[in-house]
Each structure stands twice: as C-alpha cells, then as structure tokens.
A and B are shown apart, each in its own frame.
Chain A
C-alpha cells in the first residue's frame, strides 16, 4: 500500500527556535495533505489543509504565521513551527490523499518537545 513518511519522529528544540517537519508521499502523488495536532487525552485537531501549489487553508484558531505550511510538490509538504514555545510541544501528524481515489494515508507522527 501507499506510504507516507514523516520526519523526524522526535525532535527537541529550544524555545525561540524554529522546527521543520516533513511529510512525504513515497509512492504516490499527494494532491492534498492535512496537518493535525494531538493533545493528551483529546481528539485530533486539524490544523490546516494544503493543496499542491497553493496556499494552505488554516482552521480557525491556528496561527498562520506560527505554523508555516508549504506544499511545493506533489510528494512533499512541510510544517514549520516558528519561534517555538513549550506550549507548542505536542504530537503532530500528517496525512495525504492521492489523485486516484482520495484514500488517506497517515505519517508516523512527530513528537515535538520545546524546552
């Protein structure tokens, strides 16, 4: 089946620095990618939807300037957490849908810890 690779799986960074998370579709073209954030003991929160070649659509309450999303190609989307703070520490996961039947595939997730 199709594979979505998310990298890194874990990252620790200092407050004030920026962190980039990559989401790659390895064997299919991902026309749409979704970025989610998981909080402890809560359900997944959709942060933004990105379509290749266009600006991401952010959900209400998600800071566009803080969570920069780029979807420059059909196989790669990146989420950059800018000027990270401890409250940004979380588990981030991406999913991608292809052109064939819009089936969704998930990355393995990234655990971000801001110290």
Chain B
C-alpha cells in the first residue's frame, strides 16, 4: 500500500540557517510527489511537485526538493530560512494514473530569531 512518512514532527532552525525536511514514500511505481505548506488558519499552498524528468525540482519561496528513487525519498530543502517560513509542511504522494493522494503527517517548522 502507498504510504508517506515524514519522520520529523517538529524541526527548529535558526533564521538564516539551511533547512532539510525529510520525506520517504512507499509506492510500487514512479509516484507523483508534492510538498505543500500550511500556515496557521490557512489552506495548503503548493510549494513544488515532481511528476517526471529532472529529479531536482525548484519551487516557490526558494524551496527545492530532490527525488531519489533509490532511497524512496523526496526531501525538501532551502539554503537559508526566513522567519516567515515557520509553518507546517506536508509531503504527499499521488498515483500517476489516478487522483488519489496520500499525505504525510506533517513537519512543524519553528524558526529561531
């Protein structure tokens, strides 16, 4: 069965430091992969997605993610975080031939001034 694991429930980094949020998935074929961000009281916002092609995907707000098939991972990175990046981040996997989507449990990012 498909699954998505975000092993870190909370992560705290200092403003200006680099960030990596981990995401591992379990899926039989090549999945469609997404990273979303949710700020308090707001709906999800798509940061980036991977469907095929270049395994390093650039997104909005300076985020990027790399699809590593051998590790079944799709980690999200940002070289220098800003206080406004404090939010909850969700990794999701979709079925390429379908519309079902499964979310990880999310990682809450805290930023220290």
* Chain A interfacial positions (CB closer than 8 Å to B): 1, 32, 34, 36, 38-41, 43-44, 46, 49, 90-91, 93, 95, 97, 101-104, 106, 109, 111
Classify chain B's interface size. 20 to 34
Most chain B beta carbons < 10 A, residue from A38, A44, A111: A44
Q: Say which residue of A1, A32, A34, A38 sits within 8 Å of B101 (CB atoms).
A: A38
- List chain A residues, Cβ under 8 A from B97: 40
- Would you call B96 and A91 a contact (CB within 8 A)? no
Q: Say which residue of B40, B101, B106 sits within 8 Å of A93 (CB atoms).
A: B101
- Would you call B94 and A38 a contact (CB within 8 A)? yes
- List chain A residues, Cβ under 8 A from B46: 43-44
- List chain B residues, Cβ under 8 A from A39: 99
Q: Say which residue of B41, B49, B94, B108 sits within 8 Å of A97 (CB atoms).
A: B41
B44-58 interface mask toward A, CB cutoff 8 Å, 1 = contact, 0 = none? 101001010000000
Q: Given contacts A93-B101, A103-B106, is CB(A44)–CB(B36) below 8 Å?
A: yes
B113 interface hit (Cβ, 8 Å): no
B85-113 interface mask toward A, CB cutoff 8 Å, 1 = contact, 0 = none? 00010101010111111110110100000
B32 interface hit (Cβ, 8 Å): yes
- List chain A residues, Cβ under 8 A from B102: 109
* Chain B interfacial positions (CB closer than 8 Å to A): 32, 34, 36, 38, 40-41, 43-44, 46, 49, 51, 88, 90, 92, 94, 96-103, 105-106, 108
Chain B minimum-CB-distance residue to A49: B43
Pick 22 A–B contacts, CB within 8 A, sort by A. A1-B105, A34-B43, A36-B43, A38-B94, A40-B97, A41-B32, A41-B51, A44-B44, A46-B43, A46-B44, A90-B99, A91-B98, A91-B101, A93-B103, A95-B44, A97-B40, A102-B41, A104-B38, A104-B106, A106-B90, A109-B101, A111-B100
- Expressed in whole angstroms, the minimum distance between the Cβ of B18 and any Cβ of chain A is 24
Chain B minimum-CB-distance residue to A48: B43
Q: Given contacts A32-B41, A102-B40, A104-B88, is CB(A41)–CB(B96) below 8 Å?
A: yes
- Expressed in whole angstroms, the minimum distance between the Cβ of B23 and any Cβ of chain A is 15
